[in-house]
Amino acid sequence: MFKKSLGLVVFAAAASFSMATFADGHSAGDAVKGEKVFKKCATCHMVGPDAKKKVGPPLNDIIGRKAGSLEGFKYGKSIVAAGEAGLVWTDEELFAYLKNPRKYLRAKLDDKKAKSKMALKLKKEDQRADVIAYLKTFSKPAE
């Protein structure tokens, strides 16, 4: 009982914290709304304590993770190359990536042939911000 109510308190705190803004001026989103938007992502990704690999990697602790680096997951060449070139997932980087993953990787790598296995595009800024706020509820706080 205590664990469940503590989890709700942590989730509520993260949701209210998420109303801040990104460094680039975008609203940081709403984790509660992001949970609903994440249903689009759930076809390929999981989050939470029981998250497993699906078509895409689990997204726990995505914030601060080097792109293409989750051990045991087979990523596409372009996302691995981006990680090797120094791409670390921040709010801002995820915000840009989620709009159009292939276009983002092509620009990031300066490679017109770069590909992304991720087909989903979240074109609406508020949806991207909300999903990021939701994902942050599954990330360890910065130390």
Q: Considering the entire predicted model, what is its pTM? A: 0.81
Average pLDDT, the chain: 86
Give yes or no for residue 36 having a pLDDT over 90: yes
Tokens linked to 42: 């759930």
Reference 59, options 37, 44, 81; nearest CA is 44
The Cα 24–Cα 80 span in angstroms is: 25
- Tens digit of pLDDT for each residue in 73-114? 999 999 999 999 999 999 999 999 999 999 999 999 999 999
pLDDT at 25: 52
